[in-house]
Amino acid sequence: MRKFSAFAIAREALRGHKGWGVQWASPEPRSEYDVIIIGAGGHGLATAYYLAKEHGITNVAVLEKGWLGGGNTGRNTTIIRSNYLYDESAGIYDHALKLWDGLSQDLNYNVMYSARGVMMLAHNVHDVQVLQRHIHANRLNGVDNEWLTPEQAKDYCPPLNISGQTRYPVIGATLQRRGGTARHDAVAWGYARAASDRGVHIIQNCEVTGTRRAPQGHIIGVDTSKGFIGAKKVGVVAAGHTSVLMEMADVRMPLESYPLQAMVSEPVKPVFPCVVMSNTVHAYISQSDKGELVIGAGTDQYTSYSQAGGLHIINHTVDAICEMFPMFRRMKMLRSWGGIVDVTPDRSPILAKTPVQGLYVNCGWGTGGFKATPGSGHVFAHTIARDEPHRINAPFTLERFRTGRLIDEAAAAAVAH
């Protein structure tokens, strides 16, 4: 694989960029692999990459029913932060945040991680109490997070309306300075390229339609639209379709799948310096490097597999954005879309072994898994390679929904994003 460097870019510029070649191979599937990963989103591709890089397991295939990164990885609003309430969450999200810093160098691919700061707004007394509790908990875990007055929040983000003359007055905010955004497609492409370079097979347009088990119960492979493919181990990393796939192996998952929407505006010059989230009104905003305002909404109230959500949800979001940032009132929205997010009862992920030997699952990231991509792939690869969880993902079991040992970020924040 050609390495990206200043020298290579200059040389290619002089010869019309004809020498780059393909970024990842598209091989025909082998009859058997040591590990099959189902789902070529960021988490699946990262898992394959770390299996090869950290554990020397390269006889790996990533099977994708559509195109690489075409699921939630390519549909999200790219907010990255690690200021979650509980120790377990801080552990996994901060592990990811540390990997984001340096990921472009590790992959030799610019994932455009930009630590521009994530601000979370408080609009009422409850918000203030919840957010300040987060700050204290984060500091105990060594995670940066600080409190801002409305004036300090406006200093950090000048378009913010702090006049108080709105339905959602801003009465304070938290700021995680290491939080920010990354380019979602580049994350999928960078992991795919680096994994392929180490021998991993990435097989697109290959839908998994069934799983096969030996009479003793352990996994022996998967049925796909390209035929049966054998495997010693299978990792399911299929976001909104996880419960469908796990049902094929007779494992019932505590998951519900909801559409979640986002939209972008027409592109404008740099005007918005950070990421602003408001959990109370379910509106999130940042500006992409192309200049578009990237705006995220809340989930629909009904479960569904349609990759488009209700119009009233985005209307409500745009209402709130216009009140908080009146200067955007005359902006035109370019397009909106949806993704199917897999939500657990406690809004925390499941990264674990399953009751079926050789079958592993990484799911339940709901509305907020993009930020975890490097950390999730890293510890899930460990879990598959060693057949035991990494200490960071050890609490994120399937059994916790039976034992009651929940990691209840839903109760902590009312929303996880």
Ligand X SMILES: Cc1cc2nc3c(=O)[nH]c(=O)nc-3n(C[C@H](O)[C@H](O)[C@H](O)COP(=O)(O)OP(=O)(O)OC[C@H]3O[C@@H](n4cnc5c(N)ncnc54)[C@H](O)[C@@H]3O)c2cc1C
Among 233, 371, 382, 400, binds ligand X (CB under 6 A): 371
Site string for ligand X, 197-226 (x = CB under 6 A): ----------xx------------------
Q: Interface with ligand X includes 298 (CB under 6 A)? A: no
> Could you tell me the smallest distance in angstroms from the CB atom of residue 377 to ligand X?
9
Among 219, 251, 260, 413, binds ligand X (CB under 6 A): 260
Residue 255 tokens read as: 């998951």
Q: Could you give the angle at which helices 125-140 and 87-100 cross, rounded to 10 degrees?
A: 70
Nearest residue (CB) to ligand X, 148 versus 263: 263
Q: Interface with ligand X includes 38 (CB under 6 A)? A: yes
Q: Interface with ligand X includes 292 (CB under 6 A)? A: no
Rounded to an integer, what distance in angstroms lies between the CA atom of residue 362 and that of residue 339?
Answer: 17
> Could you tell me the smallest distance in angstroms from the CB atom of residue 225 to ligand X?
8
Q: Interface with ligand X includes 263 (CB under 6 A)? A: no
> Could you tell me the smallest distance in angstroms from the CB atom of residue 12 to ligand X?
30
Nearest residue (CB) to ligand X, 104 versus 336: 336
Number of residues binding to ligand X, judged by CB under 6 A: 40
Rounded to an integer, what distance in angstroms lies between the CA atom of residue 252 and that of residue 9?
Answer: 50
Given a contact cutoff of 8 angstroms between Cβ atoms, the answer to whether 113 and 100 are in contact is: yes
CB atoms within 10 A of CB 394: 15
Q: Interface with ligand X includes 262 (CB under 6 A)? A: yes
Strand partners, 335: 264
Among 24, 36, 42, 53, binds ligand X (CB under 6 A): 42
Q: Interface with ligand X includes 70 (CB under 6 A)? A: yes
Residue partners of 93: CB distance under 8 A and separation at least 6: 81, 82, 84, 371, 372, 375
Taking CB under 6 A as the binding criterion, the range among 2-10, 68-76, 393-401, 402-410 that sits at the site for ligand X is 68-76
Rounded to an integer, what distance in angstroms lies between the CA atom of residue 82 and that of residue 207?
Answer: 33
In three-state secondary structure terms, 403 is: helix
Among 180, 369, 374, 389, binds ligand X (CB under 6 A): 369
Q: Interface with ligand X includes 364 (CB under 6 A)? A: no
Nearest residue (CB) to ligand X, 38 versus 162: 38
Among 53, 95, 183, 241, binds ligand X (CB under 6 A): 241
Residue 18 tokens read as: 């004809």
Rounded to an integer, what distance in angstroms lies between the CA atom of residue 285 and that of residue 232?
Answer: 43
Place of tokens 């939209």: 263
Rounded to an integer, what distance in angstroms lies between the CA atom of residue 45 and that of residue 278?
Answer: 31
Nearest partner of 361 among 39, 19, 18, 34, judged by Cα:
39
Strand partners, 276: 119, 285
Residue 25 tokens read as: 């191979």
Nearest residue (CB) to ligand X, 150 versus 396: 396
Given a contact cutoff of 8 angstroms between Cβ atoms, the answer to whether 356 and 219 are in contact is: yes
Among 49, 78, 234, 378, binds ligand X (CB under 6 A): 78
What DSSP string runs through 71-99?
A: TGGGTS---B----SSHHHHHHHHHHHHH
Among 37, 57, 60, 65, binds ligand X (CB under 6 A): 65
Nearest residue (CB) to ligand X, 168 versus 191: 191
Nearest residue (CB) to ligand X, 130 versus 343: 343
Give the binding site for ligand X (CB under 6 A): 38-44, 63-66, 70-73, 75-79, 207-208, 237-239, 241, 245, 260-262, 296, 339, 341, 365, 367-371, 417
